[in-house]
Amino acid sequence: MADDWRNGGFGLYVHWPFCEAKCPYCDFNSHVSRNIDQKQWLACYLSELKRAAAETPDRVLNTIFFGGGTPSLMAPETVAAIIDEARALWHPANDMEITLEANPGSVEAGRFAAYGDAGVNRISMGVQALNDDDLRRLGRIHTVAEARAAFDIAHSCFDRVSFDLIYARQHQTLDTWRAELTEALAMAVDHLSLYQLTIEDGTAFGDRYALGKLRGLPEDDSAADMYLATQEICDAHGLPAYEVSNHARPGAESQHNLIYWRYGDYVGIGPGAHGRLTLNGHKYATETYLSPNTWLTAVAQGQGESSRTRLNRQDQGAEYLMMCMRLDEGLDIDRYMILSGRELPQRNLNSLVDLGMITLDENRLRATSNGRAVLNAVIRELLE
């Protein structure tokens, strides 16, 4: 149990909570602020890094991920100093993956080279749509031409560039999505994140939806067709889904996100960042203060962590199952039994196999493409 996390690896997540503008669909912890003191932020990140490293000495650090928010608003010197400190505090893996999420505006593209000098070796860009009307509807402040230009610059600076698209958007049809996805695949990508639009409570889209004013969203059936078309088109282009929403050429998978899905350990610093840490043989879930100012104050007084919960075996088994069933490689049944101390319910396993939702192969349980389309229901049956 003490070493279970090694099956997933060890990573560092750094949350930057600011954006130029708030997108109406987004419920990530992101804020618009004109007064950001990068020196103060850097001092707080470095303090949190030292605190986390004191608890996890001697570990090999496999990945760093700058997420947000919009980390491409960070000064390159801030990014460089965080990477340098992380390298000094842990043992950096030889092939350490260091990703930064970027918005595809021209200003951020101008900083890409400096992020590369800082040590970033992978960029993940929020392109969202390859259609200007839809970008406007999504409240994005970039155009398709800007996104393409930013992508080209990213490509000239980094070997590894991924981008995100959102589908099942207002007024989108299966045919327009097929054409758009094919266009995306024609760009020289080896990794794509393709998310079905989710209407989140507490967002501007959530409010509009509740009032019946968010028109033209595809019905559930059309969204499911778009999901299946996504699998088919990406498979045909050599970028199969290695996770529900993530597609890569074999070998180009996001190593950082694999740590989450393989239920490894990760330190999460910055406002609202989550972590999972195995300490003295026990796995803990950690959370930090959500509000940027509360977090800054808390760090100045000692630490930004707002809660730490010890996970019992049942929690760990459930978390491992929920994460790894998202992956094409699926669940290691022995590992599940060791973590959770229980067996999977045989009757439900049989019926899920009969329904074509899962496959069982020696020690591996995997969701089929149809199973992944209704993954929450499959997981409920497995955890019964």
Ligand X SMILES: C[S@@+](CC[C@H](N)C(=O)[O-])C[C@H]1O[C@@H](n2cnc3c(N)ncnc32)[C@H](O)[C@@H]1O
Task: List residues binding ligand X (CB under 6 A).
Answer: 25-26, 28, 67-68, 70, 101, 103, 126, 128, 164, 166, 195, 197-198, 200
12 near 62, Cβ under 8 Å?
no
Closer to ligand X by CB, 283 or 326: give it: 326
Least distance from ligand X to the Cβ atom of residue 40, Å: 22
Residue placing its CB nearer to ligand X in the complex, 162 or 255 = 162
- Choice from 19, 46, 123, 318 touching ligand SF4 (CB under 6 A): 19
In the list 8, 9, 11, 69, the residue contacting ligand SF4 (rule: CB under 6 A) is: 69
Assess 26 for contact with ligand SF4 (CB under 6 A).
yes
Distance CA 70, CA 136 (A): 18
Q: What's the min distance (Å) between Cβ of 176 and ligand SF4?
A: 21
Q: Where are the extended beta strands (E) located within the chain?
A: 10-16, 60-68, 91-102, 122-128, 160-167, 191-196, 241-243, 246-248, 265-269, 274-279, 282-288, 305-310, 331-332, 358-361, 364-367
CB of 59 to ligand SF4, least distance (A): 29
The answer to the question of residue 23 lying near ligand SF4 (CB under 6 A) is yes
Question: Is 70 an interacting residue with respect to ligand SF4 (CB under 6 A)?
Answer: yes
The one-character DSSP state at 59 is P
Q: Which amino acid is at 117?
A: D
Minimum Å distance from CB 330 to ligand SF4?
30
22 binds, among ligand X, ligand SF4, none (CB under 5 to 8 A by kind): ligand SF4
Cα dihedral sign, 323-326-330-331 = positive
Residue placing its CB nearer to ligand SF4 in the complex, 11 or 272: 272
**Helix and strand numbers, DSSP H then E, in the chain:** 16, 15
Q: Tell whether omega for the bond before 275 is within 30 degrees of 0, i.e. cis.
A: no
CB of 205 to ligand SF4, least distance (A): 11
* Minimum CB–partner distance for residue 31 and ligand SF4 (Å): 9
Q: Which is nearer to ligand SF4, 126 or 304 (CB)?
A: 126
What binding mask, one character per residue, do residues 81-110 give for ligand SF4 by CB under 6 A, x or -?
A: ----------------------x-------
Interface with ligand SF4, residue 126, by CB under 6 A = yes
Identify which range of 18-26, 49-57, 142-150, 215-223 contacts ligand SF4 by CB under 6 A.
18-26
CA distance 15 to 275: 11
Q: What is the 3-state secondary structure (H, E, C) of 120-174?
A: CCEEEEEEECCCHHHHHHCCCCCCHHHHHHHHHHHHHHCCEEEEEEEECCCCCCH
Chain residues in the site for ligand SF4 (CB under 6 A): 19, 22-23, 26, 28, 30, 68-70, 103, 126
